[in-house]
Amino acid sequence: MARRAQPISALPGAGAALVVAALIFGTLAAVALRAEAGRGFGSSDWAALRFTLTQAGLSATLSVALAIGLARALARRRFFGRSVLIALLGAPFILPVIVAILGLLAVFGRAGWVSQALGLFGYEPLQIYGLHGVVLAHVFFNLPLATRLILQGWQEIPAERFRLAAQLNAGPRAIWQLLEAPMLLRVVPGALAVVFAICLSSFAVALTLGGGPRATTIELAIYQAFRFDFDLGRAALLSGVQLVLTGLAAFVALRVSAADGVGTGLDRALRRWDGDTGLARGLDAFWILSAALFLMLPLAAVVASGASGLFLLKPNVWMAALTSVLVSGLSTVVLLLLALPMAASVALGRSAMIEVAGILGLAASPLVIGTGLFIVIYPIADPFSLALPVTALVNAVMALPFALRILVPRAREVMARYGKLSLSLDMAGGPFLWRVFLPRMRAQVGFAAGLAAALSMGDLGVITLFADPEVATLPLQIYRLMGAYQMQAAAGAALLLLGLSMGAFWILDRGGRWHAEA
């Protein structure tokens, strides 16, 4: 039976998915084929694998465990500023990693605020480098994500069930056993898998806080194999291991998140009678205040220390800022050229392989993609002269999974609502794209573009492979300042990067929503 007519073709989306798959698997193959006969997994590789699994497991467990208490408190309480706090939970996701690390050092480092307070009571300063520092940074980044995932599960419990529990005089323990614990059994495994997958591919955190060979992740080992040893065989082997591990974690997350919900209700306002006791109020206040301090203090430290450091910035830092803006803009354009046709094809029902290609960015190592592109480009051009375009391309592919999660639901809605009507009016192809599809996707396109711009602006990844003293992005320049112990200047540059990242996200997201369909 012939396929039914569609307002636009699915071929551009399939082509974009093919480009993404070819980029990821092609660069991995280029590294593997160029490599000499490998020596297999050495002792340092096993150590990197063990540390990667250990830190990812600890980070995911702590992030989700803390998120349960925070999400429960937010689900039970209504207070002034609650919506602002929930919105701020998304800030660490687009926060440049190097900025967050500087903030964490200012609060938890040897000379940080917490260490100074401990010194007043005669205690030794905190040691932030090593496993505990990596885990601390990952919890900072992933606690908000885990909280949003688990809070969504609490909000899906119909208000009528809590009303019925109150009518039956069920106490907090009974409500926990009958309503909350079953929901957590459904939601928590998926949150664990998502955070675990994100922590597996950590690079910038391990690079700055790892603290030596005993605290090396697989991603950092790939960087060392290429940058210092140019051991392509080891880089390819480690990348394959990471691809399998992250792919398995992403597969588990998708399978678990597809589980059935807890039922529907009448969308009544939720009231939690089990939270009226003084003990419940005290516990909820503790969770909310502790989380707010943990997430906001590093940002406050960056602002406080960076304000004076702005006056110490040299011209090379401002040039690096301009470079970051250019790379971010190019990366955003590339992302939209890939994501929009892929989202449209998924909305048309051609979803299987295209969605798989979109998820590959979560599992692939950006460093290996960069290494593979170096190998491919080297015979025909100078790879170092193309460092910035390569960085923009890889950043776009890394942001693609998140952009598709933003674009696909709205694209499906637009196709379902306007697809048949457009065909009946003989409006297909370009006219449908420009007059119907894109105008009704403006808000989502702006959000995806802002997210991609912010993530690219703060990325410290592929540029570390190709950088030279003359060309650097702002995150790399901050890392160099930290290595030279110019912490005040690094703080000023971090404040500049924070402003650029947040500003890019706000401008693009706001621009997408301006006059967009509600």
pLDDT at 145 over 70: yes
Inside any domain, residue 492: yes
pLDDT at 146 over 90: no
pLDDT at 333 over 90: yes
Q: How many domains does the chain divide into?
A: 2
- Compute the average pLDDT of residues 74-86: 73
Structural domain of residue 422, as residue ranges? Answer: 313-518
Q: How confident is the model at residue 273 (pLDDT cuts 50, 70, 90)?
A: low
Greater confidence (512 vs 465) lies with 465
385 and 276 share a domain?
no
pLDDT at 336: 92
pLDDT at 479 over 80: yes
- Compute the average pLDDT of residues 225-232: 76
pLDDT at 62: 94
Percent of the chain with pLDDT over 90: 6
Q: Tens of pLDDT along 380-389?
A: 877 777 888 8
- Compute the average pLDDT of residues 229-246: 78
pLDDT at 513: 57
pLDDT at 152: 76
125 and 196 share a domain?
yes
Inside any domain, residue 38: no
**Both structure tokens of 480:** 């160099």
pLDDT at 168: 60
Give the best-scoring range by mean pLDDT among 124-128, 352-356, 400-404: 400-404
Q: How confident is the model at residue 225 (pLDDT cuts 50, 70, 90)?
A: confident
Inside any domain, residue 370: yes
pLDDT at 296 over 80: yes
Phi/psi of residue 435, nearest 5 degrees: -100, -25
Reduced to 3 states (helix: H, G, I; strand: E, B; else coil), residue 468 is strand
Q: Choose among 133, 93, 131, 158: nearest CA to 458.
A: 93
Greater confidence (447 vs 334) lies with 334
Greater confidence (180 vs 124) lies with 124
375 and 503 share a domain?
yes
- C-alpha torsion angle, residues 218, 223, 226, 232 (rounded to 10): 30
Q: Choose among 148, 200, 153: nearest CA to 179.
A: 153
Q: How confident is the model at residue 59 (pLDDT cuts 50, 70, 90)?
A: very high
179 and 241 share a domain?
yes
- Compute the average pLDDT of residues 493-517: 77
pLDDT at 263: 46
pLDDT at 334: 93
Choose the final residue of a domain: 257, 283, 304.
304
pLDDT at 418 over 70: yes
pLDDT at 518: 44
> Whose structure tokens read 């690096």?
320
Give the least confident one: 118-127, 170-179, 352-361.
Answer: 170-179
395 and 352 share a domain?
yes
390 and 246 share a domain?
no
Q: How confident is the model at residue 517 (pLDDT cuts 50, 70, 90)?
A: very low
Return all residues near 86 (Cβ < 8 A) that are at least 6 apart. 74, 148, 151
* Distance of alpha carbon 104 from alpha carbon 295, whole angstroms: 10
Q: Tens of pLDDT along 147-189?
A: 888 887 777 666 666 666 666 666 667 676 667 777 788 788 8
237 and 353 share a domain?
no
Inside any domain, residue 36: no
410 and 499 share a domain?
yes
Q: How confident is the model at residue 268 (pLDDT cuts 50, 70, 90)?
A: very low
- Compute the average pLDDT of residues 290-306: 85
Give the best-scoring range by mean pLDDT among 6-10, 113-117, 202-206: 113-117
pLDDT at 61: 93
Choose the final residue of a domain: 275, 304, 333.
304
Inside any domain, residue 114: yes
Give the least confident one: 240-254, 293-307, 325-339.
Answer: 240-254
Return all residues near 425 (Cβ < 8 A) that are at least 6 apart. none
Q: How confident is the model at residue 372 (pLDDT cuts 50, 70, 90)?
A: confident
pLDDT at 1: 37
Phi/psi of residue 468, nearest 5 degrees: -130, 175
187 and 296 share a domain?
yes
Greater confidence (453 vs 43) lies with 453
The answer to whether the beta carbons of residues 317 and 474 sit under 8 Å apart is yes
- Compute the average pLDDT of residues 7-13: 73
Q: What is the CATH number of the domain that holds 457?
A: 1.10.3720.10
Inside any domain, residue 73: yes
- Compute the average pLDDT of residues 185-207: 82
Radius of gyration of the chain (CA): 24
pLDDT at 441 over 60: yes
pLDDT at 58: 93
Inside any domain, residue 25: no
* Distance of alpha carbon 427 from alpha carbon 433, whole angstroms: 9
pLDDT at 264 over 60: no
270 and 351 share a domain?
no
116 and 196 share a domain?
yes
pLDDT at 124: 80
Greater confidence (280 vs 241) lies with 241
The answer to whether the beta carbons of residues 396 and 336 sit under 8 Å apart is no
Greater confidence (320 vs 180) lies with 320
Q: Choose among 291, 281, 292, 256: nearest CA to 66.
A: 291
Q: What is this structure's pTM?
A: 0.78
395 and 280 share a domain?
no
Q: How confident is the model at residue 316 (pLDDT cuts 50, 70, 90)?
A: confident
Choose the final residue of a domain: 241, 269, 304.
304
pLDDT at 325: 92
pLDDT at 330: 93
Inside any domain, residue 443: yes
